[in-house]
Structure formats: C-alpha cells, structure tokens
Amino acid sequence: MPRAGFERKVAVVTGGSQGIGSAITQALLASGATVVCIDRVKPEVAEGAVHFAEADLYDSQAIEYVVEETVRQFDHIDILVNCAGIYPSKPAIAIDEAEWDAVLDLNLKAPFLLCRAVAKTMIQRHIPGSIVNIASTAAQSARPGVAHYASSKAGLVMLTRVLALEWAPYQIRVNAVCPGLVETDTLMKSLSTPTLMEEHREKAAKIPLGRAAKPGEIAEAVLNFVDPATSSYTTGQALFIDGGYTAGQTFATFKEQMDECLVQL
C-alpha cells in the first residue's frame, strides 16, 4: 500500500536490480516514491517505472556524476539506500591485497562516497533526508572465511553512527539494517546439490525463528526507517533482521522442555 507523502519522495537505491536491493526498489515504488536504481544490470520491475542509472561504484567520479544527474533530473534526493555489495568467502591467510581492496572499496568506501554526495545535496536544499546502509549480522557476529566482508560491514555500522551524529543538526537520519540469512534468488539458485541444500537447512535450523528471511522482510525494515511516520526520531541505529540469530543460540531440546512445561500448566 502507498505510504502518505511517499509520492513526492525521490529515492536512490544501489544494487537495486536483484536480491534484497530489488525488494527494496519494488517496496519503494509500491509506496509511491520515485526510485533511481544504481547498478550494472537493469532491474526487472513489474510495477512502476524505475529509473535506471548504470554506474561503476568503484569509480568515485561515476558516483559523483550519477548523484548530480539524479538531482538535475528530479531536483532533489530524499532517500538513499546503500545495498550494493559483494560477499566472497576465503580463509584470511589466502586473501590477497587486491581482493581485500575490492571488498572494502565496494562495501564500505562506495557507501561513504554516496552518503557524502547525497548529504551535500540534502543540506544545500534543506531536505530532511533519510539514509539506510545495508550491513550484515557479520558486523557483530564473527565467522570464519569472511575477514574482509565482516570488516567492511562492521565499518559500515560505525560509519552509520558517525554520520548520524554529524548530520543530525541538518535533520538527516542515518541508520543501518543488518540482515542475517536471506533467501534471495541468487542464494537459492546456488543450492544446486543435495549437500548444499542440506547445509542451508542446517544454517536455518540455528536461527531461533527456524528459517531464513525473505527479501521483502528486509525491505519492510528499510521502509520503516525512511518513513518519518514510523522513524522520525530514530537515527544512528543498527537494526538486526536475523530471526534472533545475534541474540544468542537456542537448542532443540529446550523446545521439548518448554512443551513439557506447557502440558503441565
């Protein structure tokens, strides 16, 4: 359903062509916003007319240009969602400098450059804007094989907090959404063998709510952050959408104990 006032909002979403980014793009469109999707691949969006801007987010000049062009075409930007990112997995001892730089540049440096460029336009035009950075549970919960990815997402959460403090006087709210395991189309297509599918089920079983998230559930959290009706007094926060994963571990045997207690009540 459209949200009040969103029909006048201009939103920029990076990585909006697939996965979580696509769900965010579609949710913003459905809410009535004008959406500019920055990606390398044109999105396939059924409803609404998304405006596509092809850009290399490793290129700082390309970032500045696409923000300037968006403002030139639509006069202002109200919302920025930094969703583009990569998730390679490799033991730290095998990560070379080029791979480290590639992950940190796309997952942390590019969001900083976009936040800076968009915030400048918001401040100049006195726009009470909202920025949401898509981080990860890896920002808080360490796991092997993702030294570069986890470092980039932890940095993104701290960047979110610093920018929230610096830009609060200008009524620019900056928050982060930290998804856990999400069943995107890309993930599900990668589960091409019974072994991989079983590993996925085991990961989901460790989540207190017993399942992975759907992309739309992450998009809804983003919408709540950018909507002044629900989050006008919220900034500098990192919201973990992970089914309870970062809260702690649970055990199947405890569920059995709970069931026994309920029978006795």
**Residues annotated as catalytic (active site), given as ranges:** 149
Please state, in angstroms and rounded to a whole number, the distance separating the CA atoms of residues 201 and 195: 10
- Of 169, 53, 52, nearest to 119 by C-alpha is 169
For the record, the structure tokens of 132 come out as 């949401």
DSSP character at residue 236: S
CB atoms within 10 A of CB 164: 19
Q: Quick one: which H or E segment has residue 38?
A: strand 34-39
Integer angstrom CA distances of residue 183 from 137, 152, 190, 221: 15, 22, 11, 16
Q: Is 48 helix (H, G, I), strand (E, B) or coil?
A: coil
For the record, the structure tokens of 15 come out as 């990585």
Amino acid sitting at position 123: I
Please state, in angstroms and rounded to a whole number, the distance separating the CA atoms of residues 196 and 108: 29
Do 9 and 52 meet the contact criterion of CB atoms below 8 Å apart?
no
For the record, the structure tokens of 165 come out as 């403090």
For the record, the structure tokens of 133 come out as 């950075």
For the record, the structure tokens of 177 come out as 């959404």
